[in-house]
Structure 1
């Protein structure tokens, strides 16, 4: 982006001091992100995060920022009441000089800014079980902080995001149309999913009858969405709140396991390398339930492991559906990339089914 236009955006926000450095951050895949350094009096500096929201994915930035403002305000109030550090333990939104938090520039881009969280690190890879336990504790604390928040007051940023029956129906439509003649090549994978068709609606049915409550959900519970304190090693702040919306809290737990407790990457073609690391599962569960066992009801605790399986199966459905559809949604780097992704998820489901009783016992032990 041209420096002049970027400075115009910067000038719209209530930053302290004079901007002396603009550094692009390239780790993210969705939003354009910059780290800004401002010089204050006395040779001190202060850093901020500036982001342009990707409206190809998030079609309504106003609703997105409404959600972010509501939940960060709720968490901040709790931190202040309990003697926490609201400057580091929750995202701090920087307002505009003319009011509000969302800047709309002349190129139809939407911008927002946060205070940079100093002396903390976001890790991209799980190096040991202790780190994964702290990840579980951080996301568990996030759910606990929002357990008394009315989730239904938030906007649904991506409609039906984890509505597994709807995802399956879309998958069936793609199979029926078979636009690029791939169905016959993946009969085994399709059959695996069809054999579990009746399980796909269980969580949604429990939510409809009120057995599982609607909660504030993060929907992107990866390790690198947590800032870990450099001194204590503990998770202090959950990042990337763009997909926060009403949903099933169990799926946040399940997606963390799907992402973090697998022994292989999501697109590993050698399925012999794809296993469920039970040490990592146990670590995350310990951390997560240390914060949430008092807020989750008995039905939620009973279905934590089941939801982990369903969210993994849902992702298999999405990957396989995109392969059958001609690879129109997920970016691919080789001809069978989406098929490899689908097969790793199916293999993980098999692993979860094989370890189901053991996983249930671990949940029961830490839920006491």
Structure 2
């Protein structure tokens, strides 16, 4: 690994004595550059922050400070590895124009796929318990780290704008796909209806399965991680993204159309986990909104993949020209399966 120019300044800011050979690249995240710092007596995670994706680091810092100040982490059944303040009390450290942050290392397993309903159940319980831990916090305290992130109405309008502006010829299979997503206006209307009826909560907002660290024997969840998207949202956001990424029998880039189905056993396990934690605390309507969440989060990703394809693949990384088209088709097949379940 090339010489890390920022080590001396990080040591000064955090009163550490990190050596070059104690730092190695860590994990397979696509957003931030992540390093494991192994000093022998202690392990830490050091991240070089990606401002291209998260353009408002001060908002993330605000949200993390709220968690540090207002959540009783000792009462949680898992760890929240929030950033460690530097000597100035700041959660981000600016070094030569780049933002860095330091956080605790948590041992265990990160997985990209759930292999059993039990793992799904543990994931749902953990994310629901996370929401519960902040239920006393005024949701308006949180700032939007990514504006409009889960706004289905906005994403629908962006799809229509992309369709209007596209240089692609919308015929054949592409027209079928476009027509399917434009016909999801009923889901958009249901989204608007829920917005007027549900309370805003602190939500994780990116509940992919690899944003958990399991114990090595999968007996429990050791940590809820990737806390940059924490903001005010609806309970069904976090349930829905779990459904989208856990229940589908194929990955979101799969072209095995006939194999893309909704795994009912994993879906039921997710629902059980959320309902057990939320019973008597989440409102009756919040509980009723959960099934909508799976459909809504699948639909919103379909909107986004298709809009990006129509725009010329400017946002999502692709390995071949049609990949966003195939991702949108994949989400269409999953959405149909969820609607038929």
> What is the TM-score of this pair, normalised by structure 2?
0.93
Deviations 1:38-91 (A, max 9, x none): 24xxxxx1100001110001112122112122124322xx244x4x68xx6222
SS at match of 1:289: helix
1:183, distance to aligned residue in structure 2 (A): 5.5
**2:36 is equivalent to residue 47 of structure 1:** no
Contact kept in structure 2, 1:217 and 1:248, CA below 8 Å: yes
Seen in structure 2, the aligned counterparts of structure 1 residues 337 and 18 have a Cα distance that, compared at 3 Å, is: closer
Compute the RMSD of aligned alpha carbons: 2.0
Q: Which moved more, 1:303-312 or 1:16-25?
A: 16-25
Correspondence 1:105-144 to 2 at 5 A: 105-106=95-96, 108-118=97-107, 120-144=108-132
User: Contact (CA 8 Å) 1:9, 1:105: kept in 2 or not?
Assistant: yes
- Alpha-carbon distance in structure 2 between the residues aligned to 1:279 and 1:15: 50
SS at match of 2:88: coil
Following the alignment from structure 1 to structure 2, what is the Cα–Cα distance between the partners of residues 339 and 229?
37
| Structure 1 position 17, deviation (Å) | 6.0
CA offsets 1:329-357 (integer angstroms, 9 cap, x no match) = 111112211111111111111111111xx
Q: 2:235 maps to which residue?
A: 249
How far apart in 2 are the matches of 1:312 and 1:58? 22
CA distance in 2, matches of 1:5, 1:11: 12
Question: Contact 1:48/1:114 (CA < 8 Å) preserved in 2?
Answer: yes
Indicate conservation of the 8 Å contact 2:6/2:95, yes or no. Answer: no
Counterparts of residues 256-335 of structure 1 (less than 5 Å)? 256-335=242-321
Q: TM-score, with normalisation over the residues of structure 1?
A: 0.87
Kept after mapping to 1: 8 A contact 2:309/2:324: yes
Alignment of 1:68-87 (within 5 A): 68-75=64-71, 78-80=72-74, 82=75
Q: How many residues align?
A: 340
Answer whether contact 2:124 2:273 (CA < 8 A) is retained.
yes
Partner of 1:65: 61
Aligned: 1:149 with 2:150: no
The DSSP-based 3-state class of the residue aligned with 2:223 is: strand
Change (3 A) 1:15 1:286: farther
Asked if 2 retains the 8 angstrom alpha-carbon contact of 1:175 and 1:183, the reply is no
What corresponds to 1:359 in structure 2?
Answer: none
Q: Tell me, yes or no, if structure 1 residue 94 matches structure 2 residue 80.
A: no
Structure 1 unaligned blocks of 5 or more:
40-44, 356-368
Is the 1:13–1:95 contact (alpha carbons within 8 Å) kept by the matching residues of 2? no
**Structure 2 match to 1:364:** none
Whole-angstrom distance in 2 between the partners of 1:330 and 1:350: 23
Residues 1:278 and 1:48: Cα distance change in structure 2 (over 3 Å)? same
Unaligned runs of 5+ in 2: none
Counterpart contact for 2:177–2:329, Cα < 8 Å: yes
CA distance in 2 between partners of 1:201 and 1:6 (Å): 50
Deviation, structure 1 residue 184: 5.8
Q: Does the C-alpha gap of structure 1 residues 332 and 79 become closer, same or farther in structure 2, counting only changes over 3 Å?
A: closer
Distance in 1 (CA, whole Å) between partners of 2:163 and 2:308 is: 10
Deviation track 1:215-251 (CA, whole Å, cap 9, x = no partner) reads: 1121210111112233672113210011111122211
- Equivalent residue for 1:362? none
Match of residue 361 from structure 1 = none
Aligned to 2:32: 31
Question: Which residue of structure 1 lines up, in the alignment, with residue 151 of structure 2?
Answer: 163
Distance 2:4 2:209 in 1: 35
